[in-house]
Amino acid sequence: MNSTANKVAVITGASQGIGAALVTAYRKLGYAVVANSRTITPSDDPMVLTVAGDIADPAVGARVIEQGLATFGRIDTLVNNAGVFVAKPFTDYTDADYDLVAGVNLRGFFEVSKRAIAAMLSTGGGHVVNISTSLVDHANTQVPSALASLTKGGLNAVTKSLAIEYAARGIRVNAVAPGIIRTPMHPAETHEFLAAMHPVGRMGEISDIVDAITYLETATFVTGEILHVDGGQSAGH
């Protein structure tokens, strides 16, 4: 199945929520997909390769890209969607919290991205999309989340750094900074409260984030962009 006819997208955190929707969206765009999450199960679609494993483990990022290349022959897009969020007062965070959040949000990004970019360089270009959070720009007293800001703020910064480093070599790097999205992570009884935290008065939908990433995928003149899909949160309140 070493076909280079199809472009290939790698999606982390792909078993549910935004990640699962991205697998479907990229297949509709005609891409083969390499889908990773800790507990992902094999797909019956021959153009979807699932690679299970915790992206915080350095060996997993390498394995995702190696298996993608072995199966499909190339990597064109990487969506760093896997992420963890632990909201606590700063002084309540534990070493274990830090290791968990930094492991997924930073180490996971690092290992899979450097290998994906190396593969993109060999085929003349590609696209990396990092999933950040509106909280980096819009800290909120109701959501104490310093570890999210520490790690996702780093992703925002490295998005711009890599966009410039590789701009002349055909690789674009962008980020999407969501507000609070209606996913299984948020129990239904919290939705009214969470909706009110956005100036537009509603939570985001998974499709809002997928549409933003699909836009960035086709926007060949856009790189180094942090696209806020947050119902106006980052503009003010």
pLDDT average, residue stretch 93-122: 97
pLDDT of residue 2 exceeding 80, the answer is no
Instruction: Give the H/E segment covering residue 80.
Output: strand 77-80
Domain ranges of the chain: 8-235
The number of CA neighbours under 13 Å toward the Cβ of 177 is 27
- Confidence tier at 4 by pLDDT (50, 70, 90): very low
Are 69 and 112 a contacting pair, CB within 8 Å?
A: no
Q: Which residue, among 195, 197, 159, has the nearest Cα to 176 in the 3D structure?
A: 159
Sheet of 8-12, strands arranged across: 48-52, 32-37, 8-12, 77-80, 126-131, 171-178, 226-229
Q: pLDDT tens digit string along 132-151?
A: 999 999 888 888 899 999 99
pTM over the 0.75 mark: yes
What letter represents residue 53's amino acid? G
Are 52 and 40 a contacting pair, CB within 8 Å?
A: yes
Q: pLDDT tens digit string along 53-98?
A: 999 999 999 999 999 999 999 999 999 999 999 999 999 999 999 9
Task: List the CATH code of the domain at 8-235.
Answer: 3.40.50.720
Are 62 and 111 a contacting pair, CB within 8 Å?
A: yes
What letter represents residue 44's amino acid? D
The rounded distance, in Å, linking the Cα atoms of 47 and 105 is 27
The rounded distance, in Å, linking the Cα atoms of 66 and 61 is 9
pLDDT of residue 5 exceeding 60, the answer is no
